[in-house]
């Protein structure tokens, strides 16, 4: 591992930003590993240098990808991300769901319609109504949180005022 990779604080910072390379030992590019500036633990730097090596140094894609611990298919995906969003696009996205899977727009509209018809309905009754209407089991607390988020969003829109 390069000298730059030795700092425990840097490793911790890379891990917290989700940019710690899970396989720094797979980076065997000679120019990369010989440099004290370049760090095989820094995933964004590894990806950027791999693309640069192909585009600037004219190294074949298969050879560059292997030297940086990736396959050809990954190289093309990384290069496309770099082209589309710059270096920031090389940071891996947050793991986990990216949005609601059960309380999607039609379900929330149904819940709000039920609440308009009967404001006294509680979350367990709403969950039962969702299960009956959509065949989806939703925890009552999830409904409460979703309704709170929607109310919060509306109150922020009201503070901003109408858009012209």
Position 161 scores a pLDDT of 60
Position 136 scores a pLDDT of 93
pLDDT band at 2 (very low <50, low <70, confident <90, very high): very low
Position 160 scores a pLDDT of 65
Give the list of residues 6+ apart from residue 16 with CB closer than 8 angstroms, or none: none
pLDDT of 89 strictly over 60:
yes
Q: Residues 32, 49: contact at Cβ < 8 Å? A: yes
- What is the pLDDT averaged over residues 98-123? 93
Q: Where are the alpha helices (DSSP H) in the chain?
A: 8-16, 30-34, 43-55, 61-67, 72-85, 105-117, 123-134, 140-160
DSSP-assigned letter for residue 68:
T
CA within 13 Å, CB half, 21: 21
Q: What global pTM score does this model have?
A: 0.60
- What is the pLDDT averaged over residues 9-37? 93
């Amino acid at each position: 591992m390069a000298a730059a990779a030795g700092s425990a604080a840097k490793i911790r910072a890379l891990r917290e930003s989700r940019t710690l390379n899970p396989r720094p030992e797979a980076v065997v590019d000679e120019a990369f590993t010989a440099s004290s500036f370049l760090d095989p633990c820094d995933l964004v730097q590894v990806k950027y240098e791999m693309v640069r090596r192909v585009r600037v140094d004219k190294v074949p894609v298969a050879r560059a990808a292997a030297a940086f611990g990736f396959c050809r298919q990954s190289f093309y995906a990384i290069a496309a991300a770099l082209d589309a969003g710059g270096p920031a696009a090389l940071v891996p996205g947050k793991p986990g769901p990216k949005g609601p899977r059960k309380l999607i727009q039609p379900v929330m509209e149904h819940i709000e319609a039920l609440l308009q018809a009967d404001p006294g309905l509680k979350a367990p009754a709403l969950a039962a109504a969702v299960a009956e209407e959509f065949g989806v089991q939703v925890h009552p607390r999830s409904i409460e949180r979703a309704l709170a988020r929607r109310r919060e969003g509306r109150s922020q829109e009201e503070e901003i005022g109408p858009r012209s």
